[in-house]
Structure 1
Amino acid sequence: MGWTFSNWTRSELIELLTEPGETDTANYETIAFAVRGNVLWQVVRHSSKQPAVLELVAGHSSTVIRCTLLERTSGWWGYRIMTEQDEPEYFSCPLRYLALAPERCSEWRDGVREYHAGLRASAPRGRAFPTTQQAAYA
């Protein structure tokens, strides 16, 4: 899928992308979302209204992880939606989202886990505070 741009504000765009909606064949709702920089992560539940839509039986649902890129160009905000099975090259997806949707791409999920392991490894182990004596000389 390509990019879609309009004169939304960034917050209006995020609200638009996370609100429930429906098409002629399916309903969808965001059950969790997080913004990491200019990447909107969502867990989205799609419910089929007709047989064979989204490879589902009518009345059944499927949950997917979406990676939506946000960008501002010439004063216009836009977005590009990808799902886990598109193997996006972005890995800042919240770890807890992996448990909310069935696995569709193990390699991508491994990348998400590696990304978070790297964050934990590089995080400071504690914060050093000056002792009272050191503070007196500062």
Structure 2
Amino acid sequence: MAPYTKKQVLDEANKLAQMMANTEEIERFKQLEAKLNENQKVQILIKKLKAMQKQVVNLQAYGKEEAQKKAEAELDRIEKEIDEIPLVQEFKDSQLVINDILQLVSNTIAREVTNEVIRSTGGDLLAGETGSKLGNGSSCSH
């Protein structure tokens, strides 16, 4: 098999990215994001959250520790209120699913590249060592 060019590999990576961007999980994520953007309660709370974050930063900058603690408590309360909204929880769950898929694809690619290097050099897959005699049987890490 002739070696692939870096460009060919990147072209295939782009194709894989397009495939992944059109999975059911991504479609679900986009639908939930649109619902969040349309949800007035969520949007009001997010505005309050951002305003409170700015207030905390300002109070910290001016060394107003007592007021900062109160503002941080209010910030925590707003975050909790946002997190308790079922739609927000669905959205966060959707993010986790997508992150898991991305991690799985990344780990699979890394593992298979390593295994192919080991196989192609006549190494030992179980030991994770290439057939190269560069001292301690070096291998690609992932």
TM-score, normalised to structure 1's length?
0.27
Larger radius of gyration: 2
Report which structure shows greater RCO (CA 8 Å, sep ≥6).
Answer: 1
Higher helix content, 1 or 2: 2
